[in-house]
Amino acid sequence: MTDLGFVGLGVMGSRIAERLLDAGHCVTGWNRTRTKAEWLIERGLRWADSPREVALASDVVITMVTDTEALRQVTGGASGLLAGLGEGRVYVDMSTVSPAASRELAERVRATGARMLDAPVSGSVATLEEGRLSLMVGGDAETFERVRPVLEAIGPTVTYVGPNGQAALMKIATNLGLAVQMLAFSEAVLLAEKGGISRETAVHVLTNSAVASPMVRYRGPFVLRQPDEAWFDVDMMRKDLRLALEAGLEFDMPLPTTAVTNEFLTAARGMGLARHDFAVVFDVLAAMAGVEARREAREP
């Protein structure tokens, strides 16, 4: 078993770390808020006092943080992750950041003698718990082969995409579809409802139909009842769509449904719904349709 490190023990990160512990790995971890990691420490996680110390204790160290800014904070500085890397170590970033930011970080890692992979995931906590998570991996192929067993312990589907930054791009390209599918799903539910079909029936039919992606099956029922806590909120999804639209500008790639959907996420913010799961685009569309979105049940 490999000595692993894990920085960023949030909702998703902590469950991945748990999975690695369950697989018998030795895992050293760090999180900005230690209390959130207590349950993992009880299950065998070794606590370290900084990202740098995590890196020093590990052959392979993984990060999973919110955005590019958070990634800079855990990697840079005297107690940052980069300060603990060196020859022979591998660093795997599972955050969703821009391809450019990922490539730039990979170069700085290379300067320490270590190697980096970008390995974002497609899927949510539910997908992970069902053991059906997908990982895409960017970086050099040799490094990928070295850590492949660790990545396969996280999600069974692991696809090598290309050089550093390519998996970050592939993740962004994947996520644009999440938002678009959710808005199209909302159109279908509300069209059915305005034509006299109950919302429950419409959701039932659609989540068993040819459009029922994993996203639609997990998130579709949110239009009946919003979850107490957002799985992936409007701001997080906007961040990803922004990365997609900026990549579209950079590569001269028109993204028509993405662009339209992004405006509905912006409207969700305009309507004060930023902290809800991005399934709340349904509420924006319902407002335009003059339909009650049952929001009363959603706001504490």
What positions carry a catalytic annotation? Answer: 171
Phi–psi pair at 129, nearest 5 degrees: -65, -25
- Shortest reach from residue 235's CB to a second copy, in Å: 11
Pattern 154-193, binding to a second copy, x per CB under 8 A?
---x-x-xxx--x--xx-xxx-xxx-xx-xxx-xxxxxx-
- Number of residues forming the site for a second copy (CB under 8 A): 85
Distance CA(288)–CA(299), nearest Å, equals 20
CB of 17 to a second copy, least distance (A): 21
Judge whether 118 and 168 are in contact, CB under 8 Å. yes
Per-residue contact track with a second copy, 229 to 258, x per CB under 8 A? ---------x---x-xx-xxx-xxxxxxxx
Nearer to a second copy by Cβ, of 7 and 133: the residue is 133
Helical residues (DSSP H) of 83-233, grouped into ranges: 99-111, 125-129, 141-154, 166-194, 199-206, 214-219
Q: Under rule CB under 8 A, which residues in 70-109 are in contact with a second copy?
A: 99
Residue 221 sits in the site that holds a second copy (CB under 8 A): no
The per-type count for the chain, helices as H runs and strands as E runs, is: 13, 9
Q: By CB under 8 A, which span of 1-9, 33-41, 52-60, 195-203 interacts with a second copy?
A: 195-203
Give, as ranges, the residues between 108 and 147 that touch a second copy (CB under 8 A).
Answer: 122-124, 127, 134, 136
When the beta carbons of 111 and 288 are compared against a second copy, the nearer one is 288
Number of other CB atoms surrounding residue 228 within 10 Å: 7
- For 145, half-sphere exposure in the C-beta direction (CA atoms, 13 angstrom radius) is 3
The correct pick among 78, 196, 228, 296 for binding a second copy (CB under 8 A) is 196
CA distance 237 to 276: 11
Q: What is the closest distance, in whole angstroms, from the C-beta atom of residue 290 to a second copy in the complex?
A: 4
Is the CB of 80 or the CB of 123 nearer to a second copy? Answer: 123
2 or 266: CB nearest a second copy: 266
CA-to-CA distance for 185 and 78, rounded, in angstroms? 48
The residue type found at 206 is L
